[in-house]
Structure 1
Amino acid sequence: MHLIFGLGPIGGNIGERLAELNREVFGFDLAPARVHEWAAATNAPASSDLARVDWSAVDSVIVAVRTADQVSSVFRSLQECCAERPLSVFVVSTLAAEDARRILPSGPDSWRVFEAPVSGGPHGARHGTLTTFLSGPAPTDAEERLLADISGRVFRMRNYGDAATVKLLNNTLGTYNLLSTAHMLNLAQRAGVPAKDFLEVIRVSSGQSWMSDNFSEVQYDLLLKDVGLLRGEVGSLPATDLSGDVEQVILQARGLLESEA
């Protein structure tokens, strides 16, 4: 049985996806209303009380909470319930790299803990098309099948913290794209071009990005959280300045790609 720890937009939709595939799932969340809604949507058991979980049936846990402190709390709760049992633990929460390196190795030796932050939002979680950044042990066949059910693509990394770094870099780039789109929409409006009309132009031309395609639905609060985590790790982020040496920056990055080919 798969225990979904956190029934928010990502965890709840992953759980719905697995239930739809006829996998046995149990949903847990501290919010009773969220538990009720998820149970009604999936026709699967759910609770805000861990005592109602049949721990003898649990073989994997998907942790989809928001903060590092919450992940640590989940680990403590799991250790109280099944410290001696074999368990595959997938932490899809986005952590700072330092927190991933600190928290994830703290599980019992009987656990197989995977750092598995995801990209693709609630839609990707619901339809099994998430991009998953994976660090941890080599997955077993059963773990590979679970990953295949929730992911469209899995990028594999060696060490705890690597997956977090890649996810944070990706989301920070997405935030740059989102902010740039917003700047251009505001500028278009000031120049006399309706912002709604210009967004349609962006979506079919060179300014297009995932962020422009989903501009009105993006959960920017989560992106800003990830930007803060990356800034805490690297210290400062590049400033986009079109009056600077744009060509040098572009050629330097292209050179990196060519040297790694």
Structure 2
Amino acid sequence: MHLVIGLGPIGGNIGARLAELGQGVYGYDFNQDRIREWSEENKSAAGSDLAAVDWPSIDSVHIAVRLADQVSSVLAALQAHTDKPLTVFVHTTLAPEDARRILPSAPGAWRAFEAPVSGGPHGARHGSMTVFLAGPAATPAEDKLLADIAGSVFRMASYGQPALVKLFNNALATYNLAATARMLNLAADHGVPARDLLEVVGVSTGQSWMSDNLSDVQYDLLLKDVGLLRGELGSLPTAKLDGDVEHAILRARSLLSPDSPNQ
């Protein structure tokens, strides 16, 4: 059985993917509405009390919370509830320095993997996401589990590298998103409907994953990752990724709305 801690967009969908594959899953979260909805949808047990977990049956633990302090709290709670050697995948995107601090602090009998992901909720739900992995050499069973939940797995040499690679990737994605949004805004300011320009971009050299998904991408998480990378490196090159980025994205989305007077 797999214990999924954090039933949000990533953790909840990883759990749903495993349940769909016929594997036993127990979902854990503090949000009672989320627990109920996830349990009903996936026909799997869920709760907010680790004491209710059937620990002898647990094969892996998947942690998908938002913050480094929450990861540390979860690891401490796991130690308080079981002395079983655990295989733990931390899917939370940590700052590289936090990954280097938190993951080595896991008990020596654990198999602790830093495993942030890319691909969003859709990738997590359909087993097509990318996993950036650091930790012990994976066993055949762990490789099979990773193949079940991910389309690609990139293995790194040490803790902190998965976070750094993901942050580089997401910073690049944010540059693309910010540039697309600003260009749509500029077009609208000069009399070209944003939707018309987006249609041109979609079949021309300006096309990117971000231009295709501008209306749906979780830009708040991307901006969070940009902040983590800036904290690690001290500064980022070229175009600014602060200030008016969120405003530009929201305005571009508004311009693309069917109800926009600019259409």
**TM-score when scaled to structure 2?**
0.90
Supply the distance in 2 between the matched residues of 1:112 and 1:45 (Cα, whole angstroms).
Answer: 25
Aligned to 1:26: 26
Take 2:4 and 2:108, find their aligned partners in 1: how far apart are those partners?
A: 21
Structure 2 residue identity aligned to 1:209: S
Amino acid at match of 1:28: Y
Is this contact kept in 2: 1:129–1:152, CA < 8 A? yes
Q: Secondary structure at the match of 2:227?
A: helix
What is aligned with 1:66? Answer: 66
Q: How far 1:193 sits from its partner (Å)?
A: 1.3
Q: Which consecutive unaligned segments of at least 5 residues does structure 1 have?
A: 242-261
State how far apart, in whole Å, the 2-side matches of 1:206 and 1:23 are: 44
Deviation at 1:86, TM superposition (A): 2.0
- Residue 99 of structure 1 is matched in structure 2 by 98
How big is each residue's C-alpha offset from its partner over 1:163-208, in whole Å with a ceiling of 9 and x where there is no partner? 0000011111111110000011001111211101211211221111
Aligned to 2:57: 57
Q: Shift in Å at residue 77 of structure 1? A: 0.4
Aligned residue type for 2:237 = P
Letter in 2 for 1:29: D
Provide the aligned C-alpha RMSD in A.
0.9
Query: SS of 2:89's equivalent?
Result: strand
Q: After superposition, where does 1:85-124 map in structure 2 within 5 Å?
A: 85-124=84-123
Matches for 1:53-202 after TM superposition, within 5 Å: 53-82=53-82, 84-202=83-201
Give the Cα–Cα distance (whole angstroms) in 2 for the partners of residues 201 and 35 of structure 1.
43
- Residues 11-59 of structure 1: per-residue CA shift (max 9 Å, x gap): 0001000000001100000111100010011000000111211111112
The residue type equivalent to 1:11 in the other structure is G
Tell me, yes or no, if structure 1 residue 207 matches structure 2 residue 206: yes
Q: Which residue of 2 aligns with 1:3?
A: 3
Paired amino acid for 2:39: A
Name the SS of the counterpart of 2:7 in structure 1: coil
SS in 2 for 1:113: strand
Look up the match of 1:221.
220
Report if the CA contact (8 A) 1:59-1:86 is conserved: no
Whole-Å Cα distance in 1 between the matches of residues 16 and 204 of structure 2? Answer: 35
Structure 1 segments, 4+ long, off by >4 Å, are: none
Q: Which blocks of at least 5 consecutive residues in structure 2 are unaligned?
A: 241-263
**Is residue 237 of structure 1 aligned with residue 243 of structure 2?**
no
